[in-house]
Amino acid sequence: MQTITVMLDSVPGERSYPIHIGEDILCQPELFLERLPQKRVAIISNTVVAPLYMERLRSALGRHNVVSLPIILPDGEEHKNLQTLNLIYDALLAHRCERGTSIIALGGGVVGDLTGFAAATYLRGVPFFQVPTTLLAQVDSSVGGKTGINHPLGKNMIGAFYQPRAVIVDTVTLDTLPDRELRAGIAEIIKYGLIRDPAFLEWLEKNIAGLVARDAEIMVEAIRRSCVNKAEVVEADERESGGRALLNLGHTFGHAIENGMGYGVWLHGEAVAAGTILAAELSQRMHLINSIDVERIRNLYAQAGLPCVAPNLGTAEYVRLMGLDKKVEGGKIRFVLLERMGKAVVRSDVPSNMLAATLAECTG
């Protein structure tokens, strides 16, 4: 097992927390026990993940006399809303869960975001643990404390920063994850290499085939290095007033693709892959990286089986959709671009003709 610590206060305080990564660690409740104020937990999952892993986790906790309440939500991004959040509150209140009752998220990013927000707000905050079961959740959403739900007028518009007490990444859970979901997670792994870790980028170029083929050692190493990167970014800028924004490489275009195509048609990671290639093309037009760099990026995504060409929604539609992004400031779209391979930069001075040329020439 590998352990990374997310250090949140300058003095290692109670908000710092471990990320444990390993095979079959769902069955090691010691990883939770030392951080549980009460031997009582609620485990929140969904109709797909609960039949696969709920009993394994409950019986492991039960062996240490931890009483658990399962709460099972409907599956899917369309349920990441106030109504589903209310199902969690209903169950917690009906079972008289107290301030010391911990809440465990067992599932992908949707379950993690909903559960985290429930934990942040139930009784003004109860202890919360992440047990991510998708690759995307293991390398991205379970680390860093962003929690929340969607509003009919926008994705992730209601939420809170609320850190978990521990993140337990059991790589065995990936065995049941469909290939398409796995590849969507790889898109976010590649992102860390591109924005801040050139050595990791080179490692990924060598190991991408093994990663796609689910080689166990390569998988653990890719997750570990991703979590180290995410932890460092979050430690430096927990509430996204600066460097955390670099994590949005490919996301401004990506969100426009997801929204423009209709949510669910493209997976988030797929839209991020095609969006990152657009960001790379734009970076080249801004004279930051060169065409060989752009080809390297395209090649890596292609080998990961991710889409490399963004759909042609029309320039005006892209600009309209990108204007809806949470990250727009004072009406200016802020693009994350690549200054060089392994280093990203935020720019709000992209000339509209360069943006238009990129969208006209590089979508299809």
- Closest distance of CB 343 from ligand NAD, Å: 22
With beta carbons less than 8 A apart as the criterion, state whether 196 and 233 touch.
yes
- Closest distance of CB 58 from ligand NAD, Å: 16
248 is catalytic: yes
With beta carbons less than 8 A apart as the criterion, state whether 227 and 4 touch.
yes
Q: What is the DSSP letter of 334?
A: P
Q: Which of 183, 225, 268, 334 is catalytic?
A: 268
- Closest distance of CB 340 from ligand NAD, Å: 25
Q: Which of 251, 285, 327, 334 is catalytic?
A: 251
Nearer to ligand NAD (CB atom), residue 225 or residue 268: 268
With beta carbons less than 8 A apart as the criterion, state whether 45 and 73 touch.
yes
The gap from C-alpha 65 to its chain's centroid, in whole angstroms, comes to 32
Q: What is the DSSP letter of 270?
A: H
80 is catalytic: no
251 is catalytic: yes
Q: Which of 146, 155, 196, 225 is catalytic?
A: 146
- Closest distance of CB 269 from ligand NAD, Å: 7
Q: How far apart are CA 337 and CA 283, in angstroms?
A: 6
By the 10 Å C-beta count (0-12 exposed, 13-18 middle, 19+ buried), 168 is classed as buried
Q: Which of 255, 285, 327, 334 is catalytic?
A: 255
Kindly calculate the radius of gyration of the chain based on its CA atoms and give it in whole angstroms.
20
With beta carbons less than 8 A apart as the criterion, state whether 247 and 191 touch.
yes
By the 10 Å C-beta count (0-12 exposed, 13-18 middle, 19+ buried), 158 is classed as middle
Nearer to ligand NAD (CB atom), residue 190 or residue 294: 190
Nearer to ligand NAD (CB atom), residue 107 or residue 285: 107
326 is catalytic: no
Q: How far apart are CA 167 and CA 163, in angstroms?
A: 10
96 is catalytic: no
Contact set with ligand NAD (CB under 6 A): 46, 48-49, 52, 75, 77, 80, 107-111, 113, 133-134, 136-137, 140-141, 144, 146, 156, 173, 176-177, 181, 184, 268
- Closest distance of CB 120 from ligand NAD, Å: 12
Which residue in the block uniquely carries the two structure tokens 């986790």?
57
Which among 115, 117, 111, 109 is positioned nearest to 135, based on CA atoms? 109
Q: What is the DSSP letter of 26?
A: G
Q: Which of 240, 258, 270, 281 is catalytic?
A: 240
230 is catalytic: yes
15 is catalytic: no
Nearer to ligand NAD (CB atom), residue 29 or residue 112: 112
Nearer to ligand NAD (CB atom), residue 109 or residue 275: 109
Nearer to ligand NAD (CB atom), residue 271 or residue 300: 271
Q: Which of 150, 248, 259, 281 is catalytic?
A: 248
Structure tokens at 149: 């739900």
95 is catalytic: no
- Closest distance of CB 112 from ligand NAD, Å: 7
| Catalytically annotated residues | 124, 146, 188, 230, 240, 244, 248, 251, 255, 268
